[in-house]
């Protein structure tokens, strides 16, 4: 682990990034501590961390990963996707199918082949798309491929025909809505409204045991760090610069010879895959995946996590996701009906007063101290608008 840390540190030194490295360190330390306290502390010790907390943290990290996915596409490329819940859910379903097959003949009907919901809707044999899902690697492949492919097809269609801005957002929303409806259908063979649940074990490890849960939690944390660093690195390549260029002046980017649609498509695919991974890690930890995850509302909520944390700053997205969900957990416990008010207010206030989110706020506070020159420049950087209308010429 320490070697891992140092490598991150060194990496961060190389490209002089201030935020990512410390964040990664904190995250990993917390993870290590939490797992340690859960496994090695006696249940009655003051330092004991309940498995409940572990799964909760695990869930947050999955959401954080999802937020990361949205930030990559929205914060850096200005593509506001209101359908990322779909990719998340698809990844989740792929994992869910694997876990379902793992149950084998331990289902209530003791049918070695078919999951329970198929038995009592008396299906005779496994639908084709369920075959092979009992192989872990196949499932993992699907976790990446299915969201990736969907993203590619959708993106290829949309970006090539230059569907942009609002239209794109609405289309992504329509996409996830259509998926929602179709996954509700029982004929689809994904358990309809009930979705997939009652999982037993993963790779032979019992999902109920603390060890497995902690391991999942750690894996999630590492995966998150990995993806965070990777995304950061990508954004520092020339590719990343082109992406930002597209955000700020797409037609300009075209006029200096970049096939912007290709760039967008691949970024979209990358982001969709991250979402898929997040979903796949989410399912075994919460123990159920069902069409609810496709609902457009969820997808919009993701966006607000990012907005709160500060778009275009990967770390911000993660922090936003964790904070908002933490708030949600607390809030719904204290005053259930209050939550929607709070969430709604958050939407409005953040968009009105924190266009750059918490990270932006921090940055601005930093500026206060700095001198005029940098101050001005920072300002300019701040108001580089994401939906800047393409330079018209009328």
Query: Which residues 119-148 are close enough to bind another protein by CB under 8 A?
Result: 119-122
CA–CA separation, 81 and 165 (whole Å): 9
Residue 377 touching another protein (CB under 8 A): yes
Query: Which residues 168-197 are close enough to bind another protein by CB under 8 A?
Result: 169-171, 173-175, 177-178, 181-182, 184-186, 191-195, 197
Question: Can you read off the two tokens belonging to residue 16?
Answer: 């002089």
Given the rule CB under 8 A, which of 27-35, 126-134, 143-151, 363-371 is the region that contacts another protein? 27-35
Residue 15 touching another protein (CB under 8 A): no
Instruction: Report the nearest approach of another protein to the CB of residue 25 (Å).
Output: 12
Nearest to 246 by CA among 362, 75, 60: 75
Specify the residue, 20 or 253, whose C-beta has the smaller distance to another protein.
253
Given the rule CB under 8 A, which of 8-16, 144-152, 235-243, 273-281 is the region that contacts another protein? 235-243
Stretch 246-275: interaction string toward another protein, x if CB under 8 A: -xxx-xxxxxxxxxx-xx--x---------
Helix 20-40 vs helix 210-236: angle between axes, to the nearest 10 degrees?
A: 180
Given the rule CB under 8 A, which of 3-11, 16-24, 141-149, 372-380 is the region that contacts another protein? 372-380
Among 20, 21, 24, 34, binds another protein (CB under 8 A): 34
Query: Which residues 78-117 are close enough to bind another protein by CB under 8 A?
Result: 80, 103, 105-111, 116-117
Residue 204 touching another protein (CB under 8 A): no
Instruction: Report the nearest approach of another protein to the CB of residue 105 (Å).
Output: 6
Given the rule CB under 8 A, which of 17-25, 137-145, 343-351, 357-365 is the region that contacts another protein? 343-351
């Amino acid at each position: 682990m320490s070697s891992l840390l140092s490598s991150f540190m060194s990496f961060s030194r190389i490209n002089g990034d201030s935020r990512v490295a410390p964040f990664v360190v904190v995250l990993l330390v917390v993870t290590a501590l939490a797992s340690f306290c859960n496994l090695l502390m006696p249940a009655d010790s003051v330092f004991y961390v309940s498995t409940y907390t572990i799964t909760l943290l695990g869930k947050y990290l999955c959401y954080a990963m999802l937020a990361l996915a949205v930030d990559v596409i929205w914060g850096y490329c200005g593509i506001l996707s209101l359908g990322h819940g779909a990719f998340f859910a698809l990844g989740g379903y792929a994992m869910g199918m694997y876990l379902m097959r793992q149950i084998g003949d331990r289902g209530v009907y003791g049918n070695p082949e078919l999951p329970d919901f198929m038995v009592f809707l008396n299906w005779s044999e496994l639908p084709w798309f369920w075959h092979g899902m009992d192989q872990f690697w196949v499932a993992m492949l699907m976790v990446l491929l299915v969201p990736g492919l969907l993203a590619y097809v959708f993106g290829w269609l949309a970006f090539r025909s230059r569907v942009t801005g609002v239209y794109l957002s609405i289309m992504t929303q329509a996409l996830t809505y259509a998926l929602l409806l179709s996954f509700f259908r029982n004929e689809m063979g994904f358990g309809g409204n009930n979705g997939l649940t009652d999982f037993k074990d993963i790779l032979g490890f019992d999902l109920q045991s603390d060890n497995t849960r902690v391991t999942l939690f750690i894996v999630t944390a590492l995966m998150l760090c990995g993806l965070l660093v990777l995304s950061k690195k990508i954004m520092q390549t020339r590719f990343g610069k082109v992406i930002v260029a597209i955000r700020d002046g797409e037609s300009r980017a075209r006029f200096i010879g970049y096939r912007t649609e290709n760039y967008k498509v691949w970024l979209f695919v990358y982001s969709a895959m991250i979402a898929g991974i997040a979903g796949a890690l989410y399912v075994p930890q919460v123990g159920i995946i069902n069409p609810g995850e496709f609902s457009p509302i969820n997808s919009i909520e993701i966006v607000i996590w990012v907005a709160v944390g500060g778009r275009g700053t990967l770390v911000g997205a993660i922090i936003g996701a964790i904070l908002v969900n933490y708030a949600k957990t607390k809030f719904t416990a204290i005053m259930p009906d209050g939550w929607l008010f709070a969430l709604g207010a958050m939407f409005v206030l953040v968009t009105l007063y924190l266009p750059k989110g918490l990270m932006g706020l921090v940055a601005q506070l930093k500026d206060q101290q700095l001198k005029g020159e940098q101050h001005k420049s920072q300002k300019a950087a701040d108001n580089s608008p994401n939906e800047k209308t393409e330079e018209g010429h009328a």
